[in-house]
A = this chain, B = another copy of it.
Amino acid sequence: MSGSTFGRLFRVTNFGESHGPAIGCVIDGCPPGLPLAADDLQPDLDRRKPGTSRHVTQRRESDRVEILSGVFRGETTGTPIALLIRNEDQRSSDYDELVDTFRPGHADYAYWRKYGRRDPRGGGRSSARLTAPMVAAGAVAKKWLHAQYGTLVRGCMQQLGPIAVPFERWEDAATNPFFAPNAGIVAALEAHMDALRKRGDSCGARIRVVASGVPVGLGSPLYDKLDADIAYAMMGINAVKGVEIGAGFGAVTQLGSEHGDELLPEGFASNHAGGVLGGISTGQDLEVSIAVKPTSSIRLPRRSIDARNQAVTVATHGRHDPCVGIRATPIAEAMLALVLIDHALIHRAHCGDVRLDVPPIAAHARP
């Protein structure tokens, strides 16, 4: 309601600013009895954290998370899990000149007009740094979903600026800083990023996230549709400008006889729907694709105004990701996991009694 809490029954309340003393979140509604330690959260935090390659921001943060509550003797207790990450590498002086200047493509101007003030240090509350607690919360969700249903949430890069990244295998995505599921294309991606960085410009990306092993029946038929909540979660990630489920915009030119996935006793014949029909999960893989815009903080000079509506020129020299899409993969995974656990809890509240004799049919196996 006030904009810093995500979810309905599995609720994550986020706090902090890019250059304040700490960031973190409170997870309320995690079921009791889940084995949990900081080590469960660290791997995803490490995948997201800055400074891991020359292609991302060089800010140095260890992003070590402290669990302040909600875990007793190695298991969740059912009460709020508070997570704390101290900021370590603030260079607020980078931003002194920006206090009264609005960077094109940034939240600066809208933010200042909304609140009548803003914290210019590293984007303050608008910084992508605030996705770190989301990723930690997402790791809790992933662990529960996997324990409960065998659900697997995975993401990868589909396109970097003009370079399409054909999917080869999930394993490859873990071997390069781009989360490219195709080891053979990494050299081209690196060359592209090096040239871009040299020019002081930035580029966009397209990211794919998939959840497999999703139980059938999650989501509501009218407003809190599973796909609507996924769209909300994805569009809420910094710099995202588009969201697709399944065939997405490709559905515009499909025929009905082509798009509708046939059901066979042995399983679905295709998955153009991307795992959701009428707002409810079908048991097929959830297929989500998002567009990430090019980073707004670039070295190239751009025209803008200051807080007195006077013309200025802005060039950003702080430490920034030349493509925010690169680090978006673990964030998008986390958000998908958060949507799923929330719907799983809501579903068992309302339909916990429903029993059917016939088992669900198999998902279509995508290569």
Contacts and interface: CB of A to CB of B under 8 A. Distances in A.
A272 to B, nearest CB: 8
The range of chain A's interface size is 35 or more
Interface in A190-243: 201-206, 216-225, 227-236, 238, 241-243
Contacts of A106: 260, 277-278
Contact of A273 (B105, B124, B234, B255): B105
Contacts of A352: 31, 348, 352
Interface in A1-23: 1-6, 8-11, 13-17, 20-23
A137 B270 CA distance: 37
Given A3-B221, A253-B162, A279 B107 contact: yes
Contact of A257 (B162, B201, B262, B279): B201
Nearest to A356: B116
A206 B20 CA distance: 42
Given A201-B257, A224-B3, A309-B358, A236 B279 contact: yes
27 contacts: A1-B9, A2-B28, A5-B223, A15-B81, A15-B82, A21-B66, A22-B69, A22-B82, A29-B350, A32-B116, A33-B116, A72-B117, A104-B262, A106-B260, A110-B283, A113-B283, A113-B360, A114-B351, A231-B234, A231-B243, A235-B243, A238-B278, A242-B244, A257-B300, A260-B302, A262-B302, A345-B350
Contacts of A227: 235-236, 241
Interface string A51-80: 000000000000000101110100101111
A137 to B, nearest CB: 12
Interface in A255-292: 255-265, 269, 272-274, 276-283, 291-292
A329 interface: no
Given A216-B110, A252-B206, A79 B116 contact: no
A236 B265 contact: no
A294 B223 contact: no
A365 interface: no
Q: How many copies does the complex hold?
A: 4
A4 B26 contact: yes
Interface in A339-367: 345-356, 358-361
A167 interface: no
Q: Which 9 A-B pairs have the closest CB atoms?
A: A107-B278, A3-B220, A105-B260, A2-B29, A202-B256, A231-B235, A232-B232, A228-B236, A114-B217
A251 interface: yes
Given A79-B17, A114-B347, A354-B33, A235 B228 contact: yes
Interface string A115-126: 111110000111
A354 B116 contact: yes
